[in-house]
Amino acid sequence: MIIPILWSTLAVFGLFIIFYFIGFMQKSFNTVDIAYGTSFILASIVVWILSESAFLIERKILVTGLVILWGIRIAVFLTIRKFGKDEDTGEDRRFKKLRDEWGKSLWWRGLLTVYVSQVILVILIGLPVLVVNANPLLERGWLVTDYIGIGIWVLGFIFEFTADLQMLIFKKKPENKGKIMIKGLWKYSRHPNYFGEITMWFGLFVIALYEFRAWNILSIIGPIVIALILVFVSGLPLAERRYKNNKEYQDYKQRTSAIIPWKPKKE
């Protein structure tokens, strides 16, 4: 099981290096967004091909298909969205800030911090899928955990897709410039897209529990890592920092759940 995962890690590393050089030529770090979505697809397929079990096993087809659907959606969405970009270069505000701070050390620090660091995260987050695809003894039929996992994943996918679409439509309207999105799913959660993302990876973990072996259980690292990143590192903190002096957002924050959708508090 280890060898296929190691090869997939190498493949993902190569993918990020390729997108790094594309970004280098374009003088933009935005290519990391495309690499992020497609890297999960690449890792899943590489492990699937290199595993010693039969190729056409339903559970492997299932989890790989779900990751492909997720990867295509997130890569396309991150590529086409227009809000949150620097007006001059089209570059994400986060990367524009790093560019200004790093100066001459920009490109080697960008390589390590923005691109190479993602390789570790992709492998850790993708563990549920990698464990399923790397298992050479995957002969069980459909189990209750498969159906539960699929249901959880679909719920998460619908949440993330709907939340991102609602925000994209909201940001596209000129009359909403400077306003806070508090409708749709955003009425019940300040970050319903993050809830959907975490839920999807938890669903894949449940599918990976077709056996209660060490690797299967340890694959819970995937949803834990993505939850920690979104809640404490680069998700919620960065998204809300820009609104710390915005009274409308602070009022919204007081009455609305951060991640898990919940009935808003009365004003």
The pLDDT, as a whole number, for residue 98 is 65
Residues 3 and 65 in one domain: yes
pTM of the complete model: 0.88
Mean pLDDT for each consecutive 10-residue tract of the chain (267 residues)?
A: 90 95 82 88 93 75 93 78 49 64 73 88 96 77 92 97 93 89 96 97 96 91 97 88 89 94 86
Residues 154 and 132 in one domain: no
| 231-240 tens-digit pLDDT | 998 889 888 8
Residues 120 and 146 in one domain: no
For the beta carbon of residue 108, count every other beta carbon within 10 angstroms: 10
Q: Are 83 and 92 in contact, with CB atoms under 8 Å apart?
A: no
The pLDDT, as a whole number, for residue 76 is 77
**Last residue within a domain, chosen from 139, 156, 178:** 139
**Last residue within a domain, chosen from 98, 120, 139:** 139
Residues 133 and 1 in one domain: yes
**Last residue within a domain, chosen from 76, 108, 139:** 139
Residues 33 and 113 in one domain: yes
Instruction: Please state, in angstroms and rounded to a whole number, the distance separating the CA atoms of residues 164 and 146.
Output: 27
| 73-122 tens-digit pLDDT | 887 777 666 444 544 445 566 666 666 666 677 777 778 888 899 999 99
Residue listed under structure tokens 């056996």: 211
Return phi, psi of residue 191, to 5°: -145, 65
Instruction: Name the domain count of the chain.
Output: 2
Write out the residue range of the structural domain in which residue 225 sits.
140-267
The pLDDT, as a whole number, for residue 245 is 87
Q: Are 79 and 36 in contact, with CB atoms under 8 Å apart?
A: no
Residues 133 and 153 in one domain: no
